[in-house]
Structure 1
Amino acid sequence: MTEPMVRSTGLTRVFGSGDTRTVALAGVDLEVAAGEVVAVRGPSGSGKTTLLTLLVGIDEPTSGTAWVDGVDLASAGEAALARLRSETLGFVAQDFALVEMLTAAENIELPLRITRTPVAEREERVAAALEAVGLTAHGAQRPSELSGGQQQRVAIARALVHRPRVLLADEPTAQLDSETAKTVMGLIVERAHADGVAVIVTTHDPELVVLADRVLEIHDGRIAAPARPAAEVTMTRRMLRGAGPAQHPSSSSSL
């Protein structure tokens, strides 16, 4: 049996103590396979963002364990976590986390610099990433010169440019108009299915949830998994294949 790319057992995160004690996650068990797109939805404060920050190793659980590509995040040292983030993980944060002094192209290029990708290949992959999210004309602009939606697309391109095996995305289309959101989500789904990327994406958008292979509901830090009929998943994939590339932004399989 193939080991899941992402797995958690009894993952719990508690903030504060006594009267200020807040349980953000309450014993989450989760498995996500290579090539699977899992959408996590739930109301604000339900634990969606906390789950992703634990899985990317930004925060530590109060109890429980998480593994990404076989790496136990609790026992991995800082060097191992840094290597995992640079080589295996792509992460899209809600606040984008762009470097203000760098241009859009330079922000996207950062993961490739960290992995010491050759210059010619870096330039080619950054150009393809900008095209894929419809920002070719904006590569020289800094974050303050871009709209919120454009900054969000830069963050998505940066998370995908080094071709991660796991993508964690926190509300990656929240700042986008509906058509651009569908195109960007379609790009994420395409990369997942074509390259075997395990994807966990949080979203409130019901039109995007249907593009996922599996949907998890999270309430008060607890996860439930409603059934997704196989026929519905098959229909969704056929719809994506038959839709063709959108006019803006353009889809690109070379990302």
Structure 2
Amino acid sequence: MIHSLDRLSDLERDLLTLLAQGHTAKTIARSRSLSANVVNEHLRSARRKTGASSSRELARLVVAATQIQSQKVRDNLFGIESPTSPEHREPRRGLMFGPVATLINWRVMMSFGVLIAAGVLAFQSSVPSQAEQSNTNDRSIASESAASGPPDLVYQVLFSEDDELLASPTVASQFGRWVRVEVPDLMRVTLFTGERGQDGKFYTAATMQVFRDNAWQPARELSMRSTLAFTPSFEHSVEGTPYRFVIMPRLIVPAAE
């Protein structure tokens, strides 16, 4: 039995829509700058919420529900009635228009339609792209860097609680400089990446903490050496809590040889 799809988050709906379009977890991960593990976690979360046994089955239901809702919106916009038999339709009451009045009425409707279309385009142009929206969440994000200047790399950080994404800020930094980003009074991470070593790899370190009992708890430290070419990630679930960190560093400028 499938429970209500209303329990799904916007991110889960987006990932399921891509899945219904034939994508795999790996291709979804690349298109959304996530790791495949994070994508699979969100799909598992969606299945748990709805009781679905298969992610692809759930994906088809999400797409079908979206299409039905879109059709309803279009019907309401253009005043289309639901199909009913002629004998059950009530006669329309009101003024009867002659040919001239009908022509004027049609021109008014066309002008009104143009104004609606212009408004929709203006609204769409004012809405940030999905990449920009990933940095905007219900919870405010605080960040701090030790230096300013042209960035060498960026980190995307995913903060989640009970498999629900709380925030996904993207912050820029420089080699040899630290940067910290946090959800105030909840989770924070401090990040550092050095310049490329003789082995062609970069040393990256992450220090992760959660806020509990009115204090920041002892930090968990992780580090790695990698080329940063395939968006490697730190992934850490805080034992005894519903909180999880995913940190993905990647280069944005060519590294010096």
Q: If the length of structure 1 is used for normalisation, what is the TM-score?
A: 0.24
Q: Of the two structures, which has the highest relative contact order with CA contacts closer than 8 Å and spacing of 6 or more? A: 1
Q: If the length of structure 2 is used for normalisation, what is the TM-score?
A: 0.24
